[in-house]
Amino acid sequence: MGWTENFVMQNASQFELRLAQSPQDIRGAGRLRYRVFVEELGGNGPDVDHSARIERDVFDAHTDQLILVDPRRDPEAGDHVIGVYRLMRTEQYQRLGRYYSDTEYDLSSLLASGRKLLELGRSCVDPAYRGSTAMFQLWQGLAGYVAEHEIEILFGVASFHGTDPDALAQPLSHLYHAHLAPADLRPKARSYQRMDLLAKEAVDRPAAMKAVPSLIKAYLRLGGVVGDGAYIDAAFNTVDVCLVLDTARMSTKHRDLYTKPRP
């Protein structure tokens, strides 16, 4: 059996990493997403179940959810899931006919590449576990999933909190000037919000990077790049950018950051 069907990893910290398959795991993932995207960030959506405190949408039935579990928490209470990554492979996309990112970005360049794609989404970690190794462990699991399915390009939208692009002029401009995707792998925002709000010489790089969310920084360290234009997602109270990571362009040093176990 392959990774997708039968993968469980338990490490020294006693967290478990697996794909959500049981009703308890699926519910736990939805409850974590609700705590982060709805309660913490102020998001909403037509399929959100506020009474059960579950964040979900139509894509969940066509994707895998990589989850990090604290087995000390009761799965029946639905709060045992402390980290989530939602994953959609090319085969899953072909069955559904669209990616989540399609609603925000024109993905023609990625689709025309003919390479095996993996869309990443709904990435989050329980606030109580941030600053621990939780995100690193999710990345290790993601690396295993990518290897198992021979993924070549990873992509997905990542968010800044708030919907005022002018307040994000420094980080958005820095991403545009320093990390713009090559033309052949460059998604473009459908409702286009320019990112180059400041000239390159007006960007204060340290201040700009300080304002970049840690997840986006992690992609940049691996060689990630961004699409053309930001997207204002009013429903989720965010300004989004589309990140693209070509595994062929990752150096061995960068791969080792997220695939080798920490001592």
pLDDT at 25: 95
Please give the pLDDT value at position 150: 94
Given this model, what pLDDT does residue 14 score?
78
- Between 6 and 82, where is the model more confident? 82
Whole-number Å distance between alpha carbons of 45 and 25: 21
**More confidently predicted of 197 and 237:** 197
**How far apart, in whole angstroms, are the C-alpha atoms of residue 162 and residue 104?**
16
Average pLDDT, the chain: 89
Q: Report the C-alpha gap between 86 and 65 in whole angstroms.
A: 4
Contact between residue 99 and residue 88 where contact means Cβ atoms under 8 Å apart = yes
**Average pLDDT, stretch 161-188?**
96
- When mean pLDDT is compared across 22-26, 245-249, 250-254, the lowest value belongs to 250-254
Q: Which residue has the higher pLDDT, 228 or 13?
A: 228
How much is the CA Rg of the chain, to the nearest whole Å?
Answer: 18
pLDDT at 208 over 60: yes
- The answer to which of 32-36, 92-96, 254-258 has the lowest mean pLDDT is 254-258
Question: How far is residue 143 from each of residues 5, 148, 150, measured CA to CA in Å?
Answer: 16, 9, 10
Percent of the chain exceeding pLDDT 70 equals 90
pLDDT at residue 111 in the model: 96
Give the pLDDT confidence score for residue 257 in this predicted structure.
54
- Given a cut of 60, whether residue 49 has pLDDT beyond it is yes
Please tell me the predicted confidence (pLDDT) of residue 183.
95
Q: What is the pLDDT of residues 112-121, one digit of tens each?
A: 999 999 999 9
Residues 6+ apart with CB under 8 A from 26: 20, 60, 65
Structure-block tokens of residue 59: 């894509």
Alpha-carbon 10 to chain mean position: 22
Mean pLDDT score, 180-192: 96
Tell me: pLDDT of 31 over 50. Answer: yes
Mean pLDDT along residues 195-199: 97
Run of H or E including 263: none
Q: Is 15 exposed, middle or buried (0-12, 13-18, 19+ CB in 10 A)?
A: buried
- Local confidence band at 44 (pLDDT 50, 70, 90 cut-offs): confident
The fraction of the chain above a pLDDT of 90, given in percent, is 71
Which residues, including other chains, have CB under 8 Å from residue 134's CB and lie 6 or more apart? 15, 68, 82, 83, 125, 126
Q: Which two tokens stand for residue 212?
A: 């970049």
Res 94 pLDDT > 70: yes
